[in-house]
């Protein structure tokens, strides 16, 4: 049987190719494409075997970080499996024709790719830290900073005031609700005031400040040296009431160490009933230096060879958990897109045929 036939139309000769020939030519073209070096590399990168290996490496990295108790450096162990997963997914999207034929599956895998990339970038640019701010004082700096190597946030542009806080305790010293009033200027220069808490943050330049369980008292002193300018500062005591039995701290002044101890003769928070965090009605501070030991009330002072220490009074401080990750909103959008596209895919799949045969 002849596989092609010729005929003339208005003086032109046309050749009509048999369908079997076209199929064979297309198959040969596809086979040739698969044997090109680039195609073979992409096929290996997009294989399910590499997916399994990448997931196992990721699992091993997570187990290693967990076993280290959080002391291990997190970024480097996760970098290699994340890069492998990203390459694997991208290669699978490029080589698997099923994704190109079915739009929902393509959108789903692109969303997965975005999630992996955003998670990796977020890990490289994140920041976690703590901060302690006196009541009536301004935020000064962050402590215990843990940040990704690419973090370039505007930490120096963060400013706010701690106007005071209220903390309610349930029976058994269970912290129930924390309300902390803060004041700051927004990016337009307008002064604003708001109440924040453990779940409601203050957001400034992408940094999110949450109240924490760390809070307590601080002694304010005025230092009048024999030579030099008068200075006012504070000594922060450990968190209260978690460390109520050890309200002491070391103050380094004029080349020596002074142990400052807060003495509260009354019980401020009754563990058997509901209560509120409050200032003591009576208190004293004890200063123990190499020269002398003194117990001071507000307004009293102590002399040491380098000058005079004046106890101004007692105030409170609030501890904050600071978090920065600009990828969180984008991750939420990518996850939502992945869920919607997967639902779209299954809806099309099951809607293509009736649920019950008639």
Using pLDDT thresholds of 50, 70 and 90, give the confidence band for residue 173: confident
Model confidence at 183: pLDDT above 80 = yes
Model confidence at 345: pLDDT above 60 = yes
Residue closest to 130 by CA, chosen among 114, 150, 147, 105: 147
Q: What is the mean pLDDT of residues 299-312?
A: 93
Model confidence at 214: pLDDT above 50 = yes
Give the range among 29-33, 112-116, 144-148, 247-251 with minimum mean pLDDT: 29-33
Confidence (pLDDT) at 7: 40
Q: What is the mean pLDDT of residues 311-340?
A: 95
Task: Report the interhelical angle of 103-125 vs 328-351 (nearest 10°).
Answer: 160
The answer to whether residues 301 and 315 touch, using CB atoms and an 8 Å cutoff, is no
Which single residue is written with the structure tokens 């990828």? 327
Question: Each residue of 24-78: pLDDT tens digit?
Answer: 444 444 444 555 777 777 777 778 788 888 888 878 877 776 666 544 466 667 7
Domain boundaries, the chain: 15-95, 215-320
Model confidence at 8: pLDDT above 50 = no
- Does the CA dihedral 276-279-280-285 come out positive or negative? positive
Render the burial of 219-228: b for 16+ CB within 10 Å, e for the rest. bbbebbeeee
Q: Collapsing DSSP states into helix, strand and coil, what is residue 179?
A: strand
Q: List all residues 6 or more positions away from 52 whose beta carbon is below 8 Å from its beta carbon.
A: none
């Amino acid at each position: 049987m002849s596989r092609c036939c010729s005929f003339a139309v208005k003086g032109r000769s046309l050749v009509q190719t048999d369908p079997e020939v076209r199929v064979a030519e297309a198959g040969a073209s596809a086979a040739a494409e698969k044997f090109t070096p680039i195609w073979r590399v992409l096929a290996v990168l997009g294989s399910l075997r590499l997916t399994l290996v990448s997931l196992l490496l990721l699992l091993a990295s997570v187990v290693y970080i967990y076993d280290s108790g959080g002391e291990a450096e997190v970024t480097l162990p996760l970098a290699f499996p994340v890069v492998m997963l990203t390459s694997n997914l991208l290669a699978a999207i490029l080589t698997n024709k099923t994704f190109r034929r079915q739009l929902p599956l393509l959108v789903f895998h692109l969303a997965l790719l975005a999630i992996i990339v955003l998670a990796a970038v977020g890990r490289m640019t994140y920041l976690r830290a703590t901060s302690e701010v006196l009541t009536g004082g301004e935020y000064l700096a962050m402590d215990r900073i843990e940040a990704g190597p690419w973090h370039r946030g505007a930490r120096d542009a963060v400013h706010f005031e701690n106007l005071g806080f209220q903390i309610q305790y349930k029976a058994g010293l269970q912290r129930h609700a924390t309300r902390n009033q803060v004041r700051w200027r927004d990016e337009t220069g307008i002064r604003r005031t708001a109440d924040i808490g453990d779940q409601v943050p203050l957001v400034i330049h992408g940094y999110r400040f949450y109240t924490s369980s760390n809070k307590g008292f601080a002694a304010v002193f005025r230092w009048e040296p024999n030579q030099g300018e008068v200075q006012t500062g504070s000594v922060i005591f450990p968190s209260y009431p978690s460390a109520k039995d050890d309200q002491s701290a070391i103050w380094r002044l004029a080349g020596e160490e002074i142990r400052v101890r807060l003495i509260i003769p009354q019980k401020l928070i009754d563990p058997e009933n509901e209560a509120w965090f409050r200032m003591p009605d009576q208190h004293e501070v004890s200063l123990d230096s190499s020269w002398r030991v003194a117990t001071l009330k507000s307004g009293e002072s102590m002399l040491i060879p380098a000058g005079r220490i004046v106890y101004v009074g007692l105030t409170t401080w609030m501890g904050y958990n600071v978090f920065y990750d600009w990828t969180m909103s984008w991750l939420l959008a990518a996850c939502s897109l992945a869920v919607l596209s997967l639902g779209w895919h299954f809806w099309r799949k099951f809607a293509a045929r009736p649920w019950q045969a008639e």
